[in-house]
Amino acid sequence: MKNGKEIKAPLVEAMLKYKQNPMTGFHIPGHNRGEGVYPDFRNLIGFDTLKIDTTDEFDNLGTLHPETGAIKEAQKTASETFNSKKTFFVTGGSTVANLALAFAYTNPNMEVLIGRNCHRSVLTGLIISGAKVNWVIPKKHKDWAIFGNIEPADIEEKLKHNRNIKLVWITNPTYEGVVSDVKKIAEICKRYKASLIVDEAHGSLWNFSSKLPKSALNLGADAVVHSLHKTGGAMTQSSMLHITKNSAFEEEKITHALKLLHTTSPSLLLLASLDAARANLSGASGKRMLENAVRNAEYFRSEAKKIKKLHIFNEENNDVTKIFIKMDNLTGLELEKILEDEFKIEIESASDEGILILSNIGGKKEEFEYLLNALKKISKKEHPHKSKKVKIMPLIDPEIVMNLREAYFAPKEYIDKKDAVGRISSEVVALCPPGISVLLPGEIIKKEHLPYLFSYEKIEVIKE
């Protein structure tokens, strides 16, 4: 409360005041509230947007590092909403959040346990920190060519056999919405005195609906990452990093790491968009939007079941808003292309097997009806030759023989792909999305990898 008025979105409100009471500025950004911008671009994004395109040193909006003013208030409000001990706004996406977590809470003498389906930013973080990495392999859904959940028993097995592991880091949900039992995993971690980070990049809506899985924020994790820009309604690149209420992590460490890794000119537009997304989701209109997203997803799932040749990936406890489907005789990439070319429909992603559809808070039922009609039409046509030209995710058991950092910085050479089998990869090969590595530094390249390296002629390997 301020002057008897409830502040719903502190940073959004401060930005509004700033826009209404501009000062005469002699500072960055040099476009001076849009005046110095290429006119076509100004028309494209709107003068109004450029008027508030500023960074955090000016106009009494506060600073991000250290947190002050309206930015501090917005982070505090987010922390209350997400029930965290401390919430940080991150303008470099969950990529920077993951880098910062690795930088803050791992070090070269530490053993960590990482899900093999982690995003490549986790790998980058561990390359920077030099921690000794152990791997846990998630369940594989070979028919769908995707990774599934991580079994708590597999985590326990690893922790039991290596008592030096002090941190477990998992991705939950997977890109396709598969959910692991984080509560059980957190209990196991506590028993073995290991901390738990959950990369919940794709689960930022979970806090706001009882129809979605439970957030790791309330299940015993020490830190949680949310890409609010992916599904939460914030602008692209805007994420949050939460240190949970009962976290064993020292807050100062992540504050320092973020300060070192963050841009020194964070975009106020992005920061305000995080404040706005949080305010929206915790208010009545966001609640309605999310209810619609869930309803649309349920509607699509029940109707899609009736379409011949169409299959819906269905795991117990899945995030209902992430819908992975496939059609007989078509690869996911073929189905994606037909939807784009013939129906002007753009889906979230496609793989060799299927396509991923998101039911978003900005989505409309009519759009799902249109998509269902398109799928019906496609299913009625003959598609006799399934051509498997592109492969996205090998689900082979990785043979990892060197530590990430050691392999990344070892002397290397570039060799022809055809000569690479049996050699040790020294680079992160990962298609985005989903950003899960096909090969990581220190992994033996196998014959089975080759079809997944379709865009590579030469591969970077450890010099022999």
Ligand X SMILES: Cc1ncc(COP(=O)(O)O)c(C=O)c1O
* Binding interface with ligand X (CB under 6 A): 93-95, 98, 119, 121, 171, 175, 199, 201, 227, 239, 433-435
- Residue 238 Cβ vs ligand X, minimum distance, rounded to whole Å: 8
Q: Which is nearer to ligand X, 123 or 453 (CB)?
A: 123
Nearer to ligand X, 121 or 351 (CB): 121
- Give the dihedral sign, CA 46/47/51/54: positive
> Minimum distance from CB of 371 to ligand X (Å)?
23
**Least separation, in Å, of the C-beta of 109 and ligand X?**
26
- Considering the complex, what minimum distance in angstroms separates the CB of residue 41 from ligand X? 24
Strand order across the beta sheet in which 132-136 lies: 84-90, 239-244, 223-226, 195-199, 165-171, 111-115, 132-136
CB of 65 to ligand X, least distance (A): 19
Long-range contacts (CB closer than 8 Å, 24 or more residues apart) made by 269-272: 269/49, 269/52, 269/53, 269/235, 270/91, 270/234, 270/235, 270/237, 270/238, 271/11, 271/56, 271/64, 271/71, 271/74, 271/89, 271/91, 271/238, 272/11, 272/12, 272/15, 272/52, 272/74
Whole-number Å distance between alpha carbons of 270 and 238: 6
User: Least distance to ligand X from the beta carbon of 435, Å?
Assistant: 5
Residue with tokens 């910062």: 100
Closest to ligand X by CB, 129 or 171:
171
Minimal distance, residue 171 CB to ligand X, in Å: 5
Closest distance to ligand X from the beta carbon of 172 (Å): 9
Q: Which residue is nearest to ligand X (CB)?
A: 93
| Residue 100 vs 395, nearer CB to ligand X | 100
Nearer to ligand X, 18 or 324 (CB): 324
Closer CB to ligand X, 93 or 213, in the complex: 93
Least distance (Å) between residue 317 CB and ligand X: 18
Choice between 284 and 432, CB closer to ligand X? 432
Residue 13 or 199 having the CB closest to ligand X: 199
Q: Closer to ligand X by CB, 162 or 236: give it.
A: 236
CB of 394 vs ligand X, minimal distance in Å = 18
201 vs 420 by CB, closer to ligand X: 201
